[in-house]
């Protein structure tokens, strides 16, 4: 039974779903990295929010880990390249808390416009400072969105309801989507110059880090109010403090900080500054949504192999998984076969799906081919890290689909570019489930690639089969299956025999010594 650790506070629905789906679950929160390292080796899955930092050190200690599930959007607390390299799937729940976070941004915008926290504190202190708190209306003001994805889109929608004009800076926003969202796509400088309120909704990347730097803050409209419910690090906090102190910035509200938990900050106590402790996603509804979603997704992966919302692996729905499973077995065997039979540098692998195979999601098939291929070079490869490792080894991967059927109603062909030219193998599914090799380097054969096999290329000549049978018999090697193919009578022939045990060096030497043998190799699947 797979076992999952929930290491951050999560709605109890998550644990309930894991148990219902046959996954054992422990809820242990608040562990230090050292404590987590000591226990993580027992688990197949790790469910987190933002507190647990899934570093390379944690992943190195996680010897059984197959999946990390983030109940939320941002995965900056997970070392994704390290997870990919170790073959661990990383999933998030991209939509479960979007509305809640957008509402928090809108709430902070209202709070800034009317200085609600300070007015509340003053009133409760018995001051009744009616003349001190003069606010501004939102109606007809310009809202500048930096980042117009899921949350930015919801904020824009709510802002339209408040009769605001919305401009957006997002280099990946298409003009069509901008029209659909009812926002004006602008440059960053234009946004800075025009916005009365600026709200940030981008991930933290090399491009967005300090996007509101001292220089850019200086370009903002005097009296601007700024909200950040996305990620700490998007705003230069020192420069923000200076802008508030000088009065150029009329207000700022941060839910996220460069260092979290933010127990101290030069911004604390600054007039017109509001802060919340990373509460963007903290509503009952959002937490139930993300808890259910992360547990369903992780259980799917651990129990059925279905993949949803993975950041380092193609998606594979629970419905697709059973249909794709035999194809993935076929693809892995074909990848392994070309891997075992090719030598030297392989600069390119092409994966061609034909007939029924062409109608399927190609990504898992490609990953399975690469995984089978690379397993001949490293045993730490799997479906998750195979594309990453292939890229790292400079292998170009091509994906081709042909919907019309050839000789077979479904076919997967794997071709590799070698120094000797392009070489390919192809396979089909018998009865839609049993993988069979049907072509090997241009020669038609029909073989089940399984267990230990002996591969022989020889000159087609009478008596060869008898001689090899005798040799194997004398060596005490039992033949399971026997598959033969040839280019033409008297031409090159290929022989694939399944044998009960690993092909020994001695046996191989004996086969190679037979007249007419060009190549002989032991294979394993
Ligand atoms: N405070 C919270 O509790 C909380 C909750 C949920 C999400 N978040 C954070 O909010 C952020 C946005 O989430 P989302 O779901 O809208 O993500 P999203 O991926 O849907 O949208 C992000 C947008 O940022 C844009 N972008 C990327 N690089 C950019 C750049 N250099 N300049 C401008 N725009 C750029 C992208 O094109 C995309 O449209 C994420 O960082 C997420 O982690 C925070
Ligand atoms: O889990 C949380 O409370 C924060 C989530 C938020 O930062 C996210 O990126 O989804």
- From 445, 466, 501, the end of a domain falls on 445
Ligand in closest contact with the CA of 72: 2
Same domain, 261 and 140: yes
Q: How far is the CA of 75 from the centre of ligand 1 (A)?
A: 11
pLDDT at 445: 93
pLDDT at 205: 84
Structure tokens at 459: 């000159």
Q: What is the CATH number of the domain that holds 478?
A: 3.30.70.260
**Mean pLDDT confidence for 249-275:** 97
Q: Evaluate whether 148 touches 155 at the Cβ level (below 8 Å).
A: no
Report the SS3 class of residue 349.
strand
In this structure, are strands 3-6 and 45-48 parallel, antiparallel, or unpaired? parallel
Same domain, 347 and 394: yes
- Give the Å distances, CA to CA, from 482 to 46, 312, 491, 497: 46, 40, 19, 5
Q: What is the CATH number of the domain that holds 26?
A: 3.40.50.720
Among protein residues, the one whose CA lies closest to atom 3 of ligand 2: 281
Average pLDDT, the chain: 93
Same domain, 426 and 492: no
- The answer to whether residue 15 is domain-embedded is yes
Sign of dihedral through CA atoms 254, 255, 257, 259? Answer: positive
- From 445, 469, 497, the end of a domain falls on 445
% of the chain at pLDDT higher than 70: 100
Same domain, 121 and 167: yes
**What is the C-alpha end-to-end distance of the chain, expressed in Å?**
26
Report the SS3 class of residue 306.
coil
Q: Evaluate whether 268 touches 275 at the Cβ level (below 8 Å).
A: yes
In this predicted model, what pLDDT tens digit does every residue of 389-411 receive, in sequence order? Answer: 898 888 999 999 998 888 899 99
Catalytic one of 70, 225, 231, 352: 231
Same domain, 138 and 266: yes
Sign of dihedral through CA atoms 81, 82, 87, 89? Answer: negative
In this predicted model, what pLDDT tens digit does every residue of 305-338 receive, in sequence order? Answer: 888 888 877 777 777 888 898 999 899 999 999 9
Ligand in closest contact with the CA of 233: 1
Same domain, 332 and 384: yes
Among protein residues, the one whose CA lies closest to atom 21 of ligand 1: 149
**Mean pLDDT confidence for 51-65:** 96
**Mean pLDDT confidence for 62-87:** 90
Q: What is the CATH number of the domain that holds 413?
A: 3.30.1330.90
Q: How confident is the model at residue 412 (pLDDT cuts 50, 70, 90)?
A: very high
Same domain, 137 and 160: yes
**Order of strands across the sheet with 45-48?**
24-27, 3-6, 45-48, 67-70, 89-92
- The answer to whether residue 314 is domain-embedded is no
Listed in sequence order, the residues at least 6 apart from 442 whose beta carbon sits closer than 8 Å to its beta carbon are: 424, 487
In this predicted model, what pLDDT tens digit does every residue of 446-497 receive, in sequence order? Answer: 999 988 999 999 998 889 999 999 999 999 998 999 999 988 777 889 999 9
Whole domain around residue 40: which residue ranges?
3-95+285-304
- The answer to whether residue 25 is domain-embedded is yes
Q: How confident is the model at residue 380 (pLDDT cuts 50, 70, 90)?
A: low
Same domain, 499 and 418: no
- The answer to whether residue 160 is domain-embedded is yes
3-state secondary structure labels for all residues of 75-138: CCCECHHHHHHHCCEEEECCCCCHHHHHHHHHHHHHHHHCCHHHHHHHHHCCCCCCCCCCCCCC
Long-range own/partner contacts, residues 133-141 (CB < 8 A, 24 or more apart): 136/196, 137/113, 138/109, 138/110, 138/113, 138/162, 138/163, 138/164, 138/197, 139/163, 139/164, 140/164, 140/165, 141/165, 141/196, 141/197
230 lines ligand 2 (CB under 6 A): no
Name the one residue in this structure whose structure tokens are 């933290």: 204
Helices (H) then strands (E): counts for the chain: 17, 22
Measured in whole angstroms, how far is the alpha carbon of residue 118 from the centre of its chain?
43
**Mean pLDDT confidence for 437-441:** 95
Report the SS3 class of residue 296.
helix
In this predicted model, what pLDDT tens digit does every residue of 161-201 receive, in sequence order? Answer: 999 999 999 988 888 889 999 999 999 999 999 999 999 99
Same domain, 104 and 203: yes
Kindly state the helix (H) or strand (E) to which residue 422 belongs, with its residue range.
strand 421-430
| pLDDT of 519 higher than 90 | yes
Same domain, 162 and 221: yes
In this predicted model, what pLDDT tens digit does every residue of 86-129 receive, in sequence order? Answer: 889 999 998 899 999 999 999 999 999 999 999 999 999 999 99
Complex ipTM tops 0.90? yes
Q: Residues enclosing ligand 1, CB less than 6 A?
A: 73-74, 94, 97-98, 101, 146-152, 169-172, 201-203, 205, 207-208, 229-231, 255-256, 278, 280-281
Q: How far, in Å, CA of 430 to CA of 414, rounded?
A: 18
- The answer to whether residue 280 is domain-embedded is no
Q: How confident is the model at residue 344 (pLDDT cuts 50, 70, 90)?
A: confident
Query: At what angle are helices 320-341 and 362-374 packed, to 10 degrees?
Result: 30
pLDDT at 342: 87
In this predicted model, what pLDDT tens digit does every residue of 496-511 receive, in sequence order? Answer: 999 988 899 999 999 9
- The answer to whether residue 493 is domain-embedded is yes
Active site residue 409: no
Predicted model pTM: 0.74
**Mean pLDDT confidence for 361-384:** 86
Same domain, 372 and 519: no
Q: Within 247-385, where are the H helices?
A: 284-299, 320-341, 362-374
| Number of structural domains the chain divides into | 4
- From 445, 460, 483, the end of a domain falls on 445
pLDDT at 96: 94
Active site residue 231: yes
In this predicted model, what pLDDT tens digit does every residue of 216-239 receive, in sequence order? Answer: 999 999 999 999 999 999 999 999
- The answer to whether residue 209 is domain-embedded is yes
Same domain, 434 and 458: no
Q: How far is the CA of 149 from the centre of ligand 1 (A)?
A: 6
pLDDT at 87: 81
- The answer to whether residue 141 is domain-embedded is yes
């Amino acid at each position: 039974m797979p076992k999952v650790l929930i290491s951050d506070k999560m709605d109890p629905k998550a644990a309930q779903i894991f148990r219902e789906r046959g996954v054992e679950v422990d809820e242990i929160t608040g562990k230090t990295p050292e404590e987590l390292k000591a226990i993580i080796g027992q688990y197949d899955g790790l469910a987190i929010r933002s507190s647990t930092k899934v570093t390379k050190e944690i992943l190195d200690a996680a010897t059984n880990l197959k999946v990390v599930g983030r109940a939320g959007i941002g995965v900056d607390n997970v070392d994704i390249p390290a997870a990919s390299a170790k073959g661990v799937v990383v999933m998030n729940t991209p939509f479960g808390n979007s509305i809640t976070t957008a509402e928090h941004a809108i709430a902070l915008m209202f709070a800034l416009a009317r200085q609600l926290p300070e007015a509340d504190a003053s009133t409760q202190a018995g001051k009744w400072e009616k003349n001190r708190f003069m606010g501004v209306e939102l109606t007809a003001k310009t809202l500048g969105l930096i980042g117009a994805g899921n949350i930015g889109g919801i904020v824009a929608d709510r802002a339209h309801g408040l009769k605001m004009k919305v401009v957006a800076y997002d280099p990946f926003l298409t003009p069509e989507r901008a029209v659909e969202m009812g926002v004006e796509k602008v440059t960053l400088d234009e946004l800075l110059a025009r916005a009365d309120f600026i709200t940030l909704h981008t991930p933290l990347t090399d491009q967005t880090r300090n996007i509101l730097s001292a220089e850019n803050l200086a370009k903002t409209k005097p009296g601007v109010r700024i909200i950040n419910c996305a990620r700490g690090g998007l705003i230069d906090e020192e420069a923000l403090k200076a802008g508030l102190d000088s009065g150029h910035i009329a207000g700022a509200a941060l839910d996220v900080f460069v260092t979290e938990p933010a127990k101290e900050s030069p911004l604390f106590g600054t007039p017109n500054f509001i802060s919340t402790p990373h509460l963007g996603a903290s509503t009952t509804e959002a937490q139930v949504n993300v808890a259910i979603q992360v547990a369903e997704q992780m259980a799917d992966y651990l129990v059925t192999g279905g993949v949803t919302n993975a950041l380092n692996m193609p998606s594979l729905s629970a419905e697709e998984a059973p249909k794709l499973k035999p194809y993935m077995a076929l693809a892995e065997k074909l990848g392994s076969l070309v891997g075992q039979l090719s030598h030297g540098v392989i600069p390119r692998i092409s994966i061609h799906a034909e007939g029924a195979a062409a109608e399927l999601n190609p990504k898992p098939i490609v990953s399975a081919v690469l995984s089978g291929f690379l397993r001949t070079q490293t045993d730490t490869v799997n479906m998750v890290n195979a594309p990453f490792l292939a890229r790292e080894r400079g292998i170009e991967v091509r994906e081709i689909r042909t919907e019309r059927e050839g000789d077979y109603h479904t076919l997967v062909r794997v071709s590799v570019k070698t120094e000797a030219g392009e070489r390919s193998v192809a396979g089909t599914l018998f009865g839609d489930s049993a993988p069979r090799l049907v072509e090997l380097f241009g020669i038609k054969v029909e073989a089940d690639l399984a267990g230990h096999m002996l591969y022989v290329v020889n000159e087609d000549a009478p008596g060869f089969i008898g001689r090899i049978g005798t040799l194997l018999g004398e060596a005490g090697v039992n033949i399971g299956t026997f598959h033969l193919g040839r280019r033409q009578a008297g031409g090159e022939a290929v022989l694939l025999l399944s044998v009960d045990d690993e092909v020994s060096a001695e046996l191989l030497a004996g086969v190679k010594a037979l007249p007419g043998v060009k190549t002989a190799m032991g294979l394993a699947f």
